[in-house]
Structure 1
Amino acid sequence: MLPEILLITAGLSLGFFIASGLVALVIGLGIVTRYAGITKTAGSLRFYECCCMAGALFGDLFSLGTFSFSLPSWTAGVFWLFAGIYLGSWIIALGEVVNLFSILCRRIGLTRGLPFVILCMAAGKIAGSLYYFASGFQ
């Protein structure tokens, strides 16, 4: 009985850790603050951040369970609407990261070498992935 309790505790703790890291990344990239600024509801920013964390934690709990429940068919449309908003937020965040590279290169004086820096980063990612697959997923 004790090994199962320890396994459940470790699984939930690690899941909460990963979910918290994802929420910290979303909040750190400024997605939540940008939405609050666009909708002119900056006073509710703390509430939005708490909702992000609660969503991650409940998602973690629901992904561990093997239970099922039925919902009306229209809820699928609502789910996919929010999933699309979430995906769009990540696309916006990636656009912000790409802007960050150009700002960083301009500050360190690499005005002509930006395409080279991006190609080097892509080549490093490809080389790392190829090494990972060639080593047998160890």
Structure 2
Amino acid sequence: MAKSLFLIFFGLSSGCLVAAGTFAFIAAIGIVPRMAKRTKTQQYIRIYEDAIVLGGIFGTTAMFMDYRFPDIPFLLGGYGFCTGVFVGVLAMALTEVLNVVPIMLRRARITKGLQWLVLAFALGKVFGSLAYFLVDGFYVL
């Protein structure tokens, strides 16, 4: 019994530390204020922060509970869109903070066509995701 209680405590403590680190990382690279500033919606920052926390809680509990979305394409499409936006914004904020794009452009000596490079990255991600989920053999349960 004592061993089980210790494992429960250890698991919850570890999960809390990982979650705190993840949210600290998101706060440190400044996704929320940057997105609010670019979209001119600074008055809704609290709602953005609450949505991130609720999304983290939902994502964590979804690992242990069997959530099911209703088979309504609009809801599933909305969920997929929101997930994609979050992952894309997180990736771009991380590359911006680490100055990956300017360093890559300087080393590759790319002076023109940056918009085509970004479009190629985005399309590559889209087609890669489609292949992963639609082609047999990429995704195995």
Same structural fold, with TM-score higher than 0.5 when normalized by the shorter chain: yes
The answer to whether the 8 A contact 2:69-2:76 is kept is no
Paired with 1:70 and 1:99, the residues of 2 have a C-alpha distance of: 38
User: Secondary structure at 2:99's aligned position in 1?
Assistant: helix
Q: CA deviation at 1:102?
A: 6.5
* Counterpart residue number, 2:12: 12
Query: What is the match of residue 109 of structure 1?
Result: none
SS, match of residue 67 in structure 1: coil
Q: Which has the larger radius of gyration?
A: 1
Counterparts in 2 of 1:93 and 1:6: CA distance versus 1, 3 Å: same
Q: Is the 8 A contact 2:36 2:45 kept in 1?
A: yes
Residue 57 to residue 6, structure 1, CA distance change in 2 (3 Å): farther
What corresponds to 1:42 in structure 2? 42
Normalised to the residue count of structure 1, the TM-score between the two structures is 0.60
Change (3 A) 1:3 1:69: farther
Distance 1:101 1:92 in 2: 9
Report the equivalent of 1:69: 68
Alpha-carbon shift at residue 62 of structure 1 (Å): 2.3
* Structure 1, unpaired ranges of 5+: 104-113, 116-138
- Runs of 4+ in structure 1 deviating by more than 6 angstroms, as ranges, are 100-103
Output the aligned Cα RMSD. Answer: 2.7
For the residues of structure 2 that align with 1:30 and 1:77, how far apart are their CA atoms?
Answer: 27
Give me the whole-angstrom Cα distance separating, in 2, the residues matched to 1:13 and 1:82. 29
Cα deviation digits, residues 32-70 of structure 1 (max 9, x gap): 11111122221222332232123213322221x153435
Gaps of 5+ in 2: 108-141
Q: Which residue number in structure 2 is paired with residue 82 of structure 1?
A: 82
> 1:92-120: per-residue Cα shift (whole Å, max 9, x none)?
213313438979xxxxxxxxxx85xxxxx
> Is contact 1:36-1:42 (8 Å) kept?
yes
Shift of 1:12: 2.2
Q: Matched residues, percent identical?
A: 32
Structure 2 matches for 1:1-138, cutoff 5 A?
Answer: 1-63=1-63, 65-74=64-73, 75-99=75-99
